Amino acid sequence: MIEFRYFAATIMLLMSIAIITLNGLVVKRMFREREGFHKICVNKAIANVFIAIAFLVWAAPCAYLNFLYLPHAFNVFFGQIVGWAPYLMSGPFTQICLAVNRAVAISYPYWFNKQHRVPWTKVILGGLWILAILMSLPAMIDGCSYIFFVESVAWSPTDTPCSRTLSEYVTNLVLLMAIISFSINISSIIKIVRSAIGLTAVMDQNVSESRKRKRRKMFIQCVIQDCTHTTDCMLNTYVYTFYDAQWFQFLCGAVSALSVIMLDGFLMSILHQRSSTPSQTREPPSKSHTNGEFRKRASSRVSATIMTTTTM
């Protein structure tokens, strides 16, 4: 019978390749986009690629070989990629940014679409990357690390007080930020609904139905992205302790983490494709130059701004 570690290594290998492909497509399609929303998605995709590379070049080969083929310091280094800096950017940090981006686009659409001298999105994302890296430094201390265990084919903190404390800290941080981003998204959904009711009179039925569909997609996206990273963190921190079986440890560790970032790449790629067409036809062609038609097109531009800047 084939050892479980070969099966686990193959799963990690295939999922890592799929993640790099999906998130690579997101970076390629959105890299030149001007909207801050897309810049946040690009940063999220880059963080996902880093995590997948750690599985591809470290976890999978170690599982195939049944030992760590490089010194312990490399295990600690790759653990900081999977469990700290890129993980924080892939999950809670970018989720907060996406939620705030949507909220500003809805509440202040004219300010949102102005050309600003300061590239606020880039500045904030750069600051968050620095913060995530600084927060990962304590885990480089001996006895405080988050590493890959070949025996269980899973990532987990070392069995020391320092490592357990840091892991619990990250879990609480992810939970808190998930609650904040989810609350912001719910508030944004309410504002979109109210705006739709107020603009229905100047929109034709097709546009109104389109906006309803996009609101539903946005709500589903918000719930999935907010909840999946939180669930993964809970599985890695608490649930994996319920059962010592190797397959269970593998599911709670590697499969859970890889599934989340694979779903991220899939959602960002698919939803960006669907929203690119409407954004290119934001203003319908004019049929007349009457004052009434001008007012209708002006109202449509406001509604389209809300619609296109709050969906992916």
What is the reported pLDDT for 159? 86
Q: pLDDT at position 110, please? A: 67
153: left (phi over 0), alpha (psi -120 to 50) or beta: left
Q: What is the spatial distance between Cα 306 and Cα 123, in angstroms, rounded to a whole number?
A: 24
Residue 230 burial by Cβ neighbours in a 10 Å radius (0-12, 13-18, 19+)? buried
What local confidence, expressed as pLDDT, does residue 116 receive?
64
d(CA 52, CA 9): 13
Cα first-last separation, the chain:
46
**Are 170 and 180 spatial neighbours (Cβ–Cβ below 8 Å)?**
no
Question: What count of Cα atoms within 13 Å lies in the side-chain half-sphere of residue 43?
Answer: 28
pLDDT, averaged in runs of 10, over the chain (312 residues): 85 96 92 83 94 96 93 92 89 89 75 69 93 90 88 84 86 84 83 67 50 60 73 77 84 88 89 49 43 47 43 40
Classify residue 285 by burial, with Cβ atoms within 10 Å: 0-12, 13-18, 19+: exposed
Task: Assign 235 to helix, strand or coil.
Answer: helix
Q: What integer pLDDT is reported at residue 47 of this predicted model?
A: 96
Q: What distances in angstroms separate CA 8 from CA 32, 74, 172, 253, 309, one per listed residue? A: 37, 21, 29, 11, 40
CATH number of this structure's domain 4-309: 1.20.1070.10
In this prediction, residue 298 carries a pLDDT of 46
Q: Where are the domains of the chain?
A: 4-309
Strand partners of residue 154: 149
- Tracing tokens 């296109």 back to the chain, one arrives at 308
Say what the pLDDT of residue 295 is: 47
Distance CA 228, CA 261 (A): 9
The reported pTM is 0.79
39 in Cβ contact with 121 (< 8 Å): yes
Q: Cα-flanking dihedrals φ and ψ of residue 154, to 5°?
A: -155, 155
